[in-house]
Amino acid sequence: MPAPSPDAAAQLWLDQIPLADRLAAAAHTDIRLWGWLAAGLVTIAVSVAVARGGLIGRLRLAIERNGPDPWLVRTAGVGAFALTVLAARALTDAIAGQPPVQAASGVLPGVGLAIIVLTPLQWLIRSRPRTWPWIAGTAAGVAILAATWLPYALSLGAATRPLPNGPVRAGLETMSRQAGLSSPFLGLSDDPAFVADVSGGLGPTHVTIGPRLLAGPPDQARALVGHVAGHFAHADILILSLIYAGMTAGALAALAAVYRPLARTMGVAEALGEPEGLPVATVVAVAAIALSTLGGGAYLRWANMRADAYALDRSRAPDGLARGLLSEWDHASVDPSPVEEALFYTHPPLRRRLVRIAEWQAARSG
């Protein structure tokens, strides 16, 4: 009896997920697409309405009735504008089906973060009108690296409890040797939601798994650790951090370049460093976020497919990797549209990953 084709083999694995769950995931992904588009359009519409209505200018007049107070104007302008935009987005999310409490939960923290970041940024723009994009871009890049790559390179938060002896540990020791990891510390996380990670670079290498992998089949643990070992071997966290740092710096430079013509189009006469310019900057930010989502997602999908291949070549556990992917399925559509994949997927869709596993298996079975 001939072996099933890779597509058929992938479908056999997918059939382990109930059809109702797969259909619900597809419907949820479709709703998410419309919600994402609506949120972007609402943000742009609110920004244009605030700009053309001169609402921040009116707030300035009310605050400075008794004399100039630039810091209060900037703080109040940032806070009021952020509250307007975030409240409108929360309402949009609630209409799209998100629980109202969850939709509104990020409004006040978002307003606080906007005040903390944007008020000093406006001061910097006014103080250094020519060089502010490079100063702010460098600071943002350093912050991104410090928040994403540095903890990973230092293995901060990695488990310090040794992984107990047994078949899983023995398999991971073999997996580590095949992946070229030099004497890694094999640890066990107590977090029930934790799956696996390989971290280090500026310190000892840590291979950490969670309780579910320890309790599961050894080949599944080898395969999933092989996947994250692929990210470690290819420095994907560092590369992605640099990508986002570069995109942030590029967005700031683009804002400086397009602000004046865009401000004229939106009916804003004030300079970029004034709170009246926030709606214009927000429209540019929406475009920059969309582009960074597309760029970062494309790299991540490619890197995750490469990490799957790395795991297969070193763990030699295709069934273990397939079971691991099924067990860690994120309830997103297993076969999304190209637009949905480009916007929402940091990993290739589940069906495609299973097809690649089946192709690898078929190529080595003759």
User: pLDDT digits over 272-330, tens only?
Assistant: 989 999 999 999 999 999 999 999 999 999 999 999 999 999 999 999 999 999 999 98
In a domain, 30, yes or no: yes
In a domain, 321, yes or no: yes
Integer Cα distance of 333 and 325 in angstroms: 14
User: Collapsing DSSP states into helix, strand and coil, what is residue 204?
Assistant: coil
User: Collapsing DSSP states into helix, strand and coil, what is residue 293?
Assistant: helix
In a domain, 22, yes or no: yes
Q: What is the pLDDT of residue 366?
A: 56
**Of 10-19, 91-100, 195-204, 282-291, where does mean pLDDT reach its minimum?**
91-100
Confidence label for 94 from pLDDT (cuts 50, 70 and 90): confident
Can you tell me the mean pLDDT for 187-201? 92
Q: Are 233 and 179 in contact (CB under 8 A)?
A: yes
Q: What is the pLDDT of residue 1?
A: 53
Q: What is the pLDDT of residue 65?
A: 86
In a domain, 242, yes or no: yes
Residue 166 buriedness (CB in 10 A; 0-12 / 13-18 / 19+): exposed
User: What secondary structure letter does DSSP report for 2?
Assistant: P
In a domain, 262, yes or no: yes
Can you tell me the mean pLDDT for 45-64? 93
In a domain, 213, yes or no: no
Residue 4 pLDDT exceeds 80: no
88 is in which domain, residue-wise?
6-154+235-363
In a domain, 82, yes or no: yes
Integer Cα distance of 356 and 7 in angstroms: 9
Q: Of 146, 147, 120, 150, give the one whose Cα is nearest residue 135.
A: 120
In a domain, 192, yes or no: no
% the chain with pLDDT above 70 = 99
Alpha carbon dihedral 99, 114, 142, 193, in 10-degree steps, equals: -20
Residue 214 pLDDT exceeds 90: yes
